Amino acid sequence: MNTTFNTLTKSLVFFVILDFFMFFVLEVIFWMQPFVYNILLEMFNNPPKTLDFSMHALVLKKLFINQGFYNLFFAFGGLAGLYYLNKNKAVGYALTALVCFSAVGAGIVLAITSKAYILAFFQAVPAAIALAKVYPLFKNELNQLN
């Protein structure tokens, strides 16, 4: 078993962080752009025919802002995890594991509740691989503390 936080693991964690940050940007900054809400509403929601996409986007705007900030906070959690790997490995591994676990869960929920299967795959699979690599490192650090 590889017991180091190697380049592949770090790259996967960076990808997870970037994914969270990208959705923050889409949901908070660019949500009301037709190009963004047309694609995302079609994939995620498919609003009723009586409500066009622009009106549906306006109705959901505050919800997406809230959701976008959740994504930003997870991205910050991942960055904090990477930072703490140099200060306190147990804290760093715990934060990165939590962020990866959250991305896996969000990807599964996305796949179950929408037609965004490709997005769900790219959210969940890299995070699952990173989590599988980080969790044993976290357990090892906890065992060394005891």
Exposure letters 11-47 (e unless 16+ CB within 10 A, then b): ebbebbbebbbebbebbbeebeeeebbeebbebebeb
At 46, the pLDDT band (50, 70, 90 cuts) reads low
Share above pLDDT 90 across residues of the chain, in percent, rounded to a whole number: 75
Checking if the pLDDT of 90 tops 90, the result is yes
At 3, the pLDDT band (50, 70, 90 cuts) reads low
Checking if the pLDDT of 115 tops 90, the result is no
What average pLDDT does the segment 107-116 reach?
A: 92
Q: What angle do CA 21, 14, 17 make, to 5 degrees?
A: 25
Checking if the pLDDT of 47 tops 70, the result is no
The tokens describing 54, both together, are 């622009």
The tokens describing 98, both together, are 């939590």
The upper half-sphere exposure of residue 29, i.e. CA atoms within 13 Å in the direction of its Cβ, equals 8
- In angstroms, rounded to a whole number, what is the distance separating the alpha carbons of residues 84 and 88? 5
Work out the mean pLDDT of the chain and round it to a whole number: 91
What average pLDDT does the segment 29-46 reach?
A: 85
List the single range of 50-59, 105-114, 129-138 with lowest mean pLDDT.
50-59
Q: Which pTM does this prediction carry?
A: 0.88
Checking if the pLDDT of 24 tops 80, the result is yes
